[in-house]
Amino acid sequence: MIFYYAPFEANAFSHQIQTYHIDSTYKLLRSRIPFYAVTGKFAESIVFPFLYFFVWPDTSENIQVCLTAYFGSINREPSYFSMDCAPQITNAVETAIPLCQIIWCGVHVLRAVMRKAEKFQDRSNFETFYNLMKLLVFGSEEEEIDPDEVYNNLEEILNEEPAAREYFDRQWRHHLDRWMLRYRNEGDEQTTSRNHISRF
């Protein structure tokens, strides 16, 4: 089952958007079918909805159908797409828009890390790991940091934590370009996006 809706007014603004954001919620429908929204952010920090859809089952193939149909209809291919770390969303965007850079929302990255505290035997190691991840995702407003030094410190922590090392290698190591600040380039503006779908 696939249903999607694109506000007609949105098409007039689509050429102004460099980075799109996709998010979903289960809270709007009693059947817990995921409801997705694709939004864009203007320079004035105004968030605008471009596409709504719900799919069942919640697979990358079904999400891809909606994204392909919408961006094909407006003849656009986004340069950047911001999202959480859900694999079905990532796979859908990779297939539907192969040339765009995928950016994992920094807020979602740190939430995912916070849920894995049990992977660390030493609580202080987890707290240090979390703070280092935060620096790699957002940087620091107080001082200039050396990402290589921060990453090396993170590696030292992981050397003491086998379960955490396995988790990091599986989830984060092979996708540094999606979550580390140094690789995000012009797509930075969307990486701190909150749950945009709840605004509409």
- 57-76: per-residue pLDDT in tens? 999 999 999 999 999 988 88
Confidence of residue 3 (pLDDT cuts 50, 70, 90): confident
Contacts of 96 (CB under 8 A, 6+ apart): 63, 64, 67, 68, 71
85-139 tens-digit pLDDT: 889 999 999 999 999 999 999 999 999 999 999 999 999 999 999 999 999 999 9
Q: Which residue has the higher pLDDT, 120 or 6?
A: 120
Of how many residues is the chain composed? 200
pLDDT for 144 equals 85
Q: Which residue has the higher pLDDT, 26 or 161?
A: 161
pLDDT for 191 equals 46
Instruction: State yes or no: pLDDT of 187 exceeds 80.
Output: no
pLDDT for 182 equals 87
The CATH number for 2-104, chosen from 3.30.420, 3.40.50, 2.60.40, 3.30.70, is 3.30.420
